[in-house]
Structure 1
Amino acid sequence: MEKEVSIGLLGLGVVGSGVAQLIENYQDDLKHQLGCGVRVKSVLVRNLEKARSYDIDHSILTTNCDDVLNDPDINVVVEVMGGIEEARKYILQAFQAKKHVITANKDLIALYGPELEAAANENECDLFYEASVGGGIPLLRGLSDGLVSDRIQQVMGIVNGTTNYILTKMDVDGTSYEDALKEAQELGFAEADPTADVEGLDAARKMVILARLSFLTNVELDDVEVEGISNLSLTDLQYGKQLDYSMKLIGFANRTNDHHIEVSVQPTFLSNKHPLASVTDEYNAVYINGEAVGETMFYGPGAGSLPTATAVMSDVVEAIKNMRLGVNGKKFVKPRFQKELTPMDQRYSQFYLRLHVKDEVGAFALISELFHQMGISFERILQKPSNKDELAEIVVVTHETSLAKFKDSLAKLRELYVVENVESFFRVEGDAK
């Protein structure tokens, strides 16, 4: 075994700087764990003159990718540059050069994970991506190693810190969506263009990765139903408080006993007794239900330089340990089950519904009768006069019903003459099971 393992970095942004910092600051710990030193030999950057938050030796910086990918002394390539096509090209090139790859790139893994896994396997290389979901939370290794003997039934979680921060400000402080987003941007939790976060796209990519690992099925991004938080109303969050609910952007991945799967990202009302309801601000948490283990939850910082770099380094350490054992490229697990999506008539949940109806005798009776005919009963009902002339506002929470029945009911509801408007509706999750 080498006395020193050389690392090549693709990118020196927030996460890349954190990786370089950890390698320098924890060198003695790494030597103790691995029996050898670890050093960053070359770093690919776009601009050699750029001012950097971490003081790194400028002699190892390069703008030529070959200095990393074709250097025979570099054993492990760490991709933290972001983007998709360029990163994909570099990673495939690294595998051809028999280099092991660590990446934090959730977008790339969500879109091209199976292709990259196959390329790594073909070249007897490791591909690890712990940092792609959950930042510093040891989530993916917990699923693939810690729960490997279990059958995962459900994964649901808060996997985007930006939206969780915004929803916390709206829910707890009554801040408007626009002001909460602006504050998140000022604090660095949200990008100048927050679309990927607030429209649920970032969370959807992470749920693809979690679903693949949990269910051994080739889930694709197009399989995920996605709804963001940009249209949420404070009115609904205030009603949620009355009902003892908290609003969260929740990623769901559910598997039935016959291996049908559902993957979605959507604003969801959680009972305040649910473990995820207490997760606030920019923190992430994922709640997992397995046949054998029952309920577990992973919680921690979902982003940040050093937390994410810690996840990257856990992969680096595993790749080096595999080098010592001569077992690199042996961890690849092929998908076991053919993908079958759960039809809407087999997807069950409770639902929150807010309506504006004509304030006249018998209006609610008509609505109740419609839901009765559809076989849907109500668990909670709130009613108050609306600010709009001659209208009342009604909020109901249904008992558990299928998504198909609920959507059919919405269509019929909109045809009732007493219903002025269906203002909003959300999935509801009660206490953890």
Structure 2
Amino acid sequence: MQKQVSIGLLGFGVVGSGVVKMIENHREELSQKLGCDVTVKHILVRDKEKQRDLPLHSPKLTTDPAEVLNDPDIDIIVEVMGGIEEARKHIRHALQNKKHVVTANKDLIALHGQELLEVASENHCDLFYEASVGGGIPVLRGLTDGLISDRIQEVMGIVNGTTNYILTKMDEDHVSFDKALGDAQNLGFAEADPTADIEGLDAARKMAILSRLAFSMNVELDDVETSGITDIALKDLEYGNQLGYVMKLIGFAKKENGSIEISVQPTFFDKKHPLAGVKNEYNAVYIKGEAVGETMFYGPGAGSMPTATAVVSDIMAVVKNMLLGITGKSNLIAGLDKEITPDERRFAKFYVRLHVKDKAGVFASISQLFHDKEISFERIIQRPASKNQLAEVILVTHQTSLANFQTTLEQLQEMESLESIQSYYRVEGVEKND
């Protein structure tokens, strides 16, 4: 039996240092659980002279990737350097050298996961990436192990802690988007350049990964319809509160009749739904299976030690496979034909806020338009908008198709009595049987 497993680490930032710390501090427990020692032998860094807090069993630092990737004694490569093309090249090299790979790189897996899994399988190697979605929440392993026997119907969740923190602060403290974003940056929840978070791209990458595993289809990033939170107004959050809703940036993936719809968008949730209570930087993923029904994974979505926990768990899974002689057999390569659900078969309820001319007959004409499109209203709020003879109308529709709703908005724009469509959002977490 193998007495020691050696690891080569690519990157030594926040996550990399957490991985080394966890392996060092849990050395005895890991050895007892696995039946062999796990040691970090080499670490690829950009600057060897930089002061670092290294463990007692200090690994060798190098700036040469070949020293790590070509070392015959290294069994597992852990990629936590970030980026896409360089990481992709190193991972391909490692797999072709018959080394197993663990990565936390959501951008890479979202774009090239299928390709790398195929390379891993060709070389009888494991490629695991639990830390790419949800930090320390074991949602990917939940899909690939715990729920693998079920048919997943829906995956819906808060998969970006930055945007959830911002929306929580806007809702509870009644502060502007800019103020909430600044607070998130000061606390380290948001990057100096928060574009990927606030525009929904980070969440879209995670939803591509989740959907690929949930539905066994080669979902690509371009399949995820994506919108962010930069245009959300405090007024909409206030009206949402009156209606019993809370706003979340939601990743949504659903499979029905063999086709899938995937999106990331600001969504109003009924306050009774479990996702509505997920606040600040926390993540949660809600999964609906044909047999199991509804389940939810909840916890911290980022951070050094939560993410390191997921990485080390993947390392342990690889070591167990090595000891059992079954490496390369648990890589789940999406093989089902992919079909995207057309807008005519995508159904939801919608919140709409309008500015209209404040005169007799206007609301009747708007109601008639929706009636002609067979869209009925569940909730209606009407308020004076300003002193310039405008009224503000808030509508919550009953369930309708996305195609029908979009056509209605286009025709609404042509009405002389309409000043503007201020906003519209999907509504979830409420009973859809009207």
TM-score normalised by length of structure 2: 0.98
Contact 1:385 1:393 in 2 (8 A): yes
Q: Percent identity?
A: 64
Contact 1:76 1:101 in 2 (8 A): yes
Q: CA deviation at 1:267?
A: 0.2
Work out whether 1:189 is the aligned partner of 2:165. Answer: no
Contact 2:117 2:333 in 1 (8 A): no
Q: Which residue type is aligned with residue 158 of structure 2?
A: I
Per the alignment, do residues 3 and 241 of structure 1 end up closer, same or farther by CA in structure 2, a change over 3 Å counting? same
Match of 1:149 in 2: 149
Matches within 5 A, 1:24-423: 24-52=24-52, 60-256=60-256, 258-423=257-422
Structure 2: how far apart are the matches of 1:154 and 1:143?
12
Per the alignment, do residues 54 and 272 of structure 1 end up closer, same or farther by CA in structure 2, a change over 3 Å counting? farther
Q: Which residue type is aligned with residue 383 of structure 2?
A: K
Q: CA deviation at 1:59?
A: 5.8
Q: CA deviation at 1:432?
A: 7.2
Match of 2:17 in 1: 17
Structure 2: how far apart are the matches of 1:163 and 1:376?
31
Contact 1:273 1:432 in 2 (8 A): no
Structure 2 residue ranges without an equivalent (≥5):
none
Match of 1:4 in 2: 4
Q: Which residue type is aligned with residue 377 of structure 2?
A: F
Q: CA deviation at 1:3?
A: 1.4
Per the alignment, do residues 54 and 167 of structure 1 end up closer, same or farther by CA in structure 2, a change over 3 Å counting? farther
**1:20-66 deviation line (CA, Å, top 9, x unaligned):** 00000001110111111111000000111223355576661100101
Q: CA deviation at 1:2?
A: 2.2
**1:139-185 deviation line (CA, Å, top 9, x unaligned):** 10000110011000000000000000000000111111000000000
Structure 2: how far apart are the matches of 1:18 and 1:83?
19
Structure 2: how far apart are the matches of 1:18 and 1:312?
9
Structure 2: how far apart are the matches of 1:210 and 1:30?
28
Contact 1:259 1:337 in 2 (8 A): no
Structure 1 residue ranges without an equivalent (≥5):
none
Contact 1:358 1:420 in 2 (8 A): yes
Q: Which residue type is aligned with residue 372 of structure 1?
A: H
Per the alignment, do residues 395 and 63 of structure 1 end up closer, same or farther by CA in structure 2, a change over 3 Å counting? same
**1:278-317 deviation line (CA, Å, top 9, x unaligned):** 0000000000011100000000000000000000011000
Q: Which residue type is aligned with residue 342 of structure 2?
A: P
Deviates more, 1:53-62 or 1:363-372: 53-62
Structure 2: how far apart are the matches of 1:353 and 1:263?
22
Contact 1:349 1:428 in 2 (8 A): yes
Q: Which residue type is aligned with residue 96 of structure 2?
A: Q
Contact 2:20 2:55 in 1 (8 A): no
Structure 2: how far apart are the matches of 1:251 and 1:201?
11
Structure 2: how far apart are the matches of 1:392 and 1:56?
69
Q: CA deviation at 1:334?
A: 3.4
TM-score normalised by length of structure 1: 0.98
Q: CA deviation at 1:388?
A: 4.8
**1:83-125 deviation line (CA, Å, top 9, x unaligned):** 0000000000001110000000000000000000000000000
Q: Which residue type is aligned with residue 206 of structure 1?
A: K
Q: Which residue type is aligned with residue 217 of structure 1?
A: M
Q: CA deviation at 1:218?
A: 0.3
Structure 2: how far apart are the matches of 1:335 and 1:12?
31
Contact 2:40 2:59 in 1 (8 A): no
